[in-house]
Amino acid sequence: MKVIMVTPRIDELDPVLGFIPTWVNSLASRVERLDVITLTYNENSRLFENVDVYSLGNKSSKSGKLLYLNSSMFALMRKKPDVMFCHMYPSLAVITAPYGKLFRVPVVWWRTHGGVNLATRFAHFLVDKIATASEESFRIKSNKVIITGHGIDIERFKPLATARTDKKKRSILTAGRISPVKDYETFIRAADVLVNEKGMVDIEFRIVGGVPMAAQEAYYERLRQMVKEKGLENRVKFAGPVPYTKMASYYQNCDAFISSSRTGSIDKTVLEAMACQKLALTSNKAYTGVFGEYAADLMFLEGDHLDLAEKINNLLTQSEKQRSDFGIKLRKIVKMGHSIDHLMDQLVTIFKMCMG
């Protein structure tokens, strides 16, 4: 099988999109040939021999990028690919899917986002199939949509071989871009309750994530001011953006992971923490089905910092063995339904379905 993949960025150091090289290699291991068109390419990313990359980032102007995209697409189509795989952004699907239509190559789009805008609807119209992590991750009702689960690298995100015994403080972690939709206020208010009201002295809170755009700088400053006003400067730490290659260590060394995100779709950071056998709390209703029988213990009310503080306290009062046994069950959930191997096998099945 010969596949063209269109994806935003190939750079394993990228804090947000660093997972993409792993996806590329995992897919490449299942096909004869994988040609990748990307907006940005870090050539230090280690890709398999049957992968060729065409980077629009080599062109400085918009017109140069469009010309290069056009020439690359026509050259690749002459090689008679079996399927085109558009990854993530609606704009990439809108720009590239017409080549598939022109050359009668089926187009599969991966999309996990709770929002539905005009570009999403147009991309949905253009493609043949849409793969998504959960029912909540793609909100257009359509027979084109196939739920596959997410794609977590469980060999990278795994528990430490031996548990750490030198920790002086229990660590509560959250991660993601610094943006209002992530609702870090609830995380900070819960920290305030646990530290200033319940008097926990052996606990710290860490926020991992960068500011993705200048418009979010004001939000970041409001969060910092909020921490200062509550006297939590020594308890709540902003770690900034962390390269994807180093993120596993943050999960492995925390006691619990929190996601107060309001995106409404499955957030992969929760799954990555679970893969590391860490207890994960979220207010995201998309996780109700993922957690199953454990939902009552691991889900808190959206925006309710008192409920979150109580859930954190309940988890931390469990014994080390109880938390470890619980973590093993959570990793099993990821391994069974959201591993990179599971996802790529599903995608190849979808490709073959489209090929007829």
The residues of the chain scoring below 70 in pLDDT are 163-167
The pLDDT value given to residue 166: 61
H-helix segments, the chain: 20-28, 62-77, 90-102, 118-126, 184-192, 217-229, 244-252, 268-275, 288-291, 295-298, 305-316, 320-337, 340-355
The pLDDT value given to residue 19: 96
The pLDDT value given to residue 233: 96
Compute the distance between CA of residue 207 and CA of residue 256 in angstroms, rounded to an integer: 12
Please, what is the Cα angle at 64 between 62 and 70, to 5 degrees? 105
Compute the distance between CA of residue 84 and CA of residue 6 in angstroms, rounded to an integer: 8
| Residue-wise pLDDT tens digits, 53-92 | 999 988 878 889 999 999 999 999 999 999 999 999 999 9
Q: What is the CA radius of gyration of the chain?
A: 21
Domains and CATH numbers, the chain: 2-151+339-355 (3.40.50.2000), 170-337 (3.40.50.2000)
Compute the distance between CA of residue 257 and CA of residue 172 in angstroms, rounded to an integer: 6
Rounded to 10 deg, the angle between the 90-102 and 62-77 helix axes is: 40
DSSP 3-state of 342: helix
Sign of CA dihedral 267, 175, 92, 106: negative
The pLDDT value given to residue 116: 92
Predicted TM-score of the model (pTM): 0.93
The pLDDT value given to residue 61: 87
DSSP 8-class letter at 322: H
| Residue-wise pLDDT tens digits, 297-322 | 999 999 999 999 999 999 999 998 99
